[in-house]
Structure 1
Amino acid sequence: MQSNFEKSAQFTASREGLYQCNRADPGNWTGGQVGHGALVGTMRGISAPVMVRWLHDPDMVTVRVMQSITQETFSAIARTLYWRAINGDELPAGVDLMLFDFAFNSGVARAAKQLQRVLEMDAKQIDGDIDEATLEAVFNMSQGKVLETLSDKYRRKVQADLGVTVDGDIGPETINALFEQKCRWRVLIYALATQQEAAYRSFRAFPQFGRGWLGRLDARVQAALQLAYP
C-alpha cells in the first residue's frame, strides 16, 4: 500500500509548535513526570522522554539538544517511533493518519488499543500492537458493528455525509446508504474520532488544554477524510 507518511507527518508538524518549556508539563521532563529528571522542554512535539528514548541516554538530552531538533530529526523520530509502530504503510488511507497523529499526541499503545476495541477483537488481542491479526480485522470489519460504536455526534456526521435524515438513529435508510455509497473507511475514521474524543475528555488536563485537543481532532478528521476520499 502506498505510504501516506509524508502527508501525515506534515499534518502533525503543522499542529505542533517549536520549542517550549513548561514546568507543569510531564513531557518537558526527561523522567516523564514533573520533577523527575531534568527540565529540558519539548520541540516540534518531540517530548523530553521521547528524546531520551531516541538517544538512549538521559544525560544527552539537554535544553540545547531539544532546541536543536530539526525538521529532519522530527521526521526520523516520527517515522521510526510512531508510523512504523502503528504499521502505517499497511493501514487504509485516512485511518493511517487518524492513528498516527493521535499516537504522536497521546501514545502508540492507546491509539492501537482504541482501534482494536472498535473492531471488537478478543480481549487477549487488545494489546496495543497493530499486527497481522489487527490488520485482518480492519479489512474484514463489519460496517454495521463499527457504526454502533459511534457517538451521537459522529452518527449525525455520517448521516449528513450520506445525505440521509440526520437524527442520530441508525436505521435502514442509513445502513442502505452506507453500503450503496461504499463509505466503510469513513465509518472507521468516525469511530476512531469517537474514541479519541472520549480519551481527551478523560485526561486530567482537559479543562486547560481540551479546546486545543478537540480542535486538533476536528482538523485530524477532515485531513483523514481527504486522504480516504480524495
Structure 2
Amino acid sequence: MNATEKKMSAMILLFEDDRATGAESLCVRKLPAADTGGKFEICGICDGIEPAVFAAIKALLDAGRKVEAWDACLQYVWDNTKAVVGWIGSAEHPGIEFFLRDHYFNSGSRNTGRILQRALCNDGFPVDVDGVVGAGSRKALADRLARGGDLLFLDHLRKEREAFYRSCKQFPIFGKGWLNRSQKAFDFARMLSA
C-alpha cells in the first residue's frame, strides 16, 4: 500500500473506532447489543461477519504484535473495498474513491452501488438503481467523471448516503453517528479532491 492508500484505510478505521488512531490504540471492543455484526469488533472487523479475519487480527493483538495487527487492519480495509476502483476505473478521483470505499466498508456493496446509482441519476446520468454496478453504471460513472466537477458529484453522493441512512430501520439508534460519519467522510473526500 502506498501512503495515500494507507491514509484512506486509516481514516476508515478511525471512523469505525474513533479511539483507534494507530497500532498502540488498536484493541477489541464489545459491540452494542443492537449491532448485528456479532459480539466483538476490531475497528469494524466483526467476529460475526468476518470471523476468520477477526480471529487472525485478535491473535496478533493477543501476542503483542500491534503493528502487525494494525497493518492487517489497513490491508483488510483496502482489500475489502477494492471493487470501488473497478467501478471508477482509475485512481484519478481519490475523493470519490474514498467516499465510496468508506460507505462500502460500512454498508456493503449493494447499498454503496445504490447510492452511486442514485447520485448518477440525480446528476443527469440515468441508470438502473439495483445496487449492481455493472457495465451501464460504470459507463455512466466514467462519463460523469470525464465531465469534471468531482466536488459537485461528491455532494450528490453525500446526499444519497444520508438518505440511505435515514431509510434504515436502525436509524433511530445509530442515525446520529451515521450522519456524523458521512459528514466526516465527505470532508476528508473533499480534501483529497482539492
Report if aligned partners of 1:48, 1:66 keep a CA contact under 8 Å in 2: no
Contact 2:84 2:100 survives alignment (8 Å): yes
Note if 1:139 corresponds to 2:142.
yes
- Determine if contact 1:4/1:96 at 8 Å carries over to the other structure: no
Question: Could you tell me which residue of structure 2 aligns to residue 87 of structure 1?
Answer: 85
Corresponding position: 1:223 with 2:188: yes
Residue 87 and residue 73 in structure 1: after superposition, are their counterparts in 2 closer, same or farther (change >3 A)? same
Which runs of 5 or more structure 1 residues have no equivalent in the other structure? Answer: 29-38, 144-181
Map of 1:10 onto structure 2: 10
Q: How many residues align?
A: 171
What aligned pairs does 1:23-172 form with structure 2 within 5 A after superposition?
A: 23-28=33-38, 39=39, 41-52=40-51, 61=55, 65=59, 70-82=69-81, 84-87=82-85, 90=90, 92-120=93-121, 121-123=126-128, 126-129=130-133, 133-141=136-144
Task: Indicate how the Cα distance of structure 1 residues 63 and 140 shifts in structure 2: closer, same or farther if over 3 A, else same.
Answer: closer
Q: Which residue of 2 aligns with 1:193?
A: 158
Larger radius of gyration: 1
Residue in structure 2 matched with residue 152 of structure 1 by the alignment: none
Q: Distance in 2 between matches of 1:43 and 1:98?
A: 21
Task: Please give the TM-score of this superposition, normalised by the length of structure 2.
Answer: 0.73
| TM-score relative to the length of structure 1 | 0.62
Name segments (4+ residues, structure 1) moved above 4 Å. Answer: 60-69
Distance 1:64 1:200 in 2: 30
Over the matched positions of the two proteins, sequence identity in percent amounts to 22
Name the aligned partner's letter for residue 180 of structure 2. G
* Residues 140, 208 of structure 1: alpha-carbon distance in 2 compared, 3 angstrom cutoff: same
In structure 2, runs of 5+ residues without a counterpart are 18-26
Tell whether the 8 Å contact from 1:111 to 1:128 is kept in structure 2 after alignment: no
The alignment yields a C-alpha RMSD, in angstroms, of 3.2
Q: Pick from 179, 191, 208: which aligns with 2:173?
A: 208
- 1:107 is displaced (CA, Å) by 1.2
Q: Deviations over 1:99-157 (max 9, x none)?
A: 0111111112211222123223432x74433x5543432231299xxxxxxxxxxxxxx
Contact 2:57/2:73 (<8 A) preserved: no
